[in-house]
Amino acid sequence: MARLVQPLRIGPHEIWPPIILAPMSGVTNRTLRALYKPFGLGLTVTEFVSSNALQYGSRRTMEMIDQHGLERPVSTQLWGNDPQIMACAARVVRECGADIVDINFGCPAPRVTKTEGGSACLRDLDRCEAIMRAVVEAVDCPVTMKMRLGWTEQELVYAEAAKRAQAVGVLAVTLHARTARQFYKGSAEWEHIAALKRAVDIPVIGNGDLDDPHIAMQRMRQSGVDAVMLGRAALGNPWLISALRALMEGEEAQPYPHAAARLRYAVHHYHTMVEEWGEERAVPQMRKHLGYYLKGFAGASELRERVMRTTTATETLALVEATIERLEREPLVA
């Protein structure tokens, strides 16, 4: 069947489908990106990385920008408040294989904003512009930018920020349609994303409250955006990605798998994490991932609490496997 949307084009990259996995701290490592890519992601983004930390080449920071190669094209997202340090960081991640460099003007987390990084930059558009210009001039690959509506509801600066981005050579912008002060409360205001699409000529990517494939398609059509970015809703539910891809290709979205099948994929995710990162690091990291997978069936809350107290992979997987066996005997899908 004919595609219902066009590929996203960012510089030399034709991205199909125009579905992007959002950068999420402590979540979108190389393992998750490689596991979720086959579900239908056109582009994946690394965890957001401190430009200051990259100066020191710490092992943890370098792991955050590491790739499998399976998930390409890959965008590496940087945050910081100094144009020259951001430019240096952009050169580093480009040398390490980033296909696209993305600038973070969207993160509302206090650990980022207290140093005037992330969404706090939106309080000073001159500095935003200086950062974007410095990064564009530093690398030979496309530069993109992600932002919020503004710092507060009284300071909606997204349109001006995007116009400045376009003027200095940024090739696409992503808008999470909440303010920094909102964090993740309330609803994303997609009318602002539609307004941004009308305000600039470069591609616009919409982000916020895309937890249903049909709603995502509807918002894409109504706003006119060139792509959508999926965040928290895709965690533990990569089948959201495949359902949305099907709709984009003019096909019917398949129902999500039943709870036992979802947990079997979670077990695969767990084994992959242990293999790649070692048990000592994988066990605590996988607690939050299992929390995402453990939704929507009877007994999920109790199991989640028990999993949070386990300390070994064997103990954790035994709990999950026992739950899978119970669900296969007595399927209880929400």
Annotated catalytic sites, by residue?
Answer: 107
- The two tokens of residue 42 are 């056109």
CA distance 97 to 114: 30
- The two tokens of residue 144 are 């993109």
The whole-angstrom distance between residue 239's C-alpha and the CA centroid of its chain comes to 15
Q: What is the DSSP letter of 206?
A: E
**Could you tell me how many helices (H) and strands (E) the chain has, helices first?**
14, 11
The secondary structure element, H or E, covering residue 74 is strand 74-79
CA distance 280 to 180: 35
DSSP percent split of the chain into helix, strand, coil, nearest 5: 50, 15, 35
CA distance 232 to 324: 24
CB 151 within 8 Å of CB 123: yes
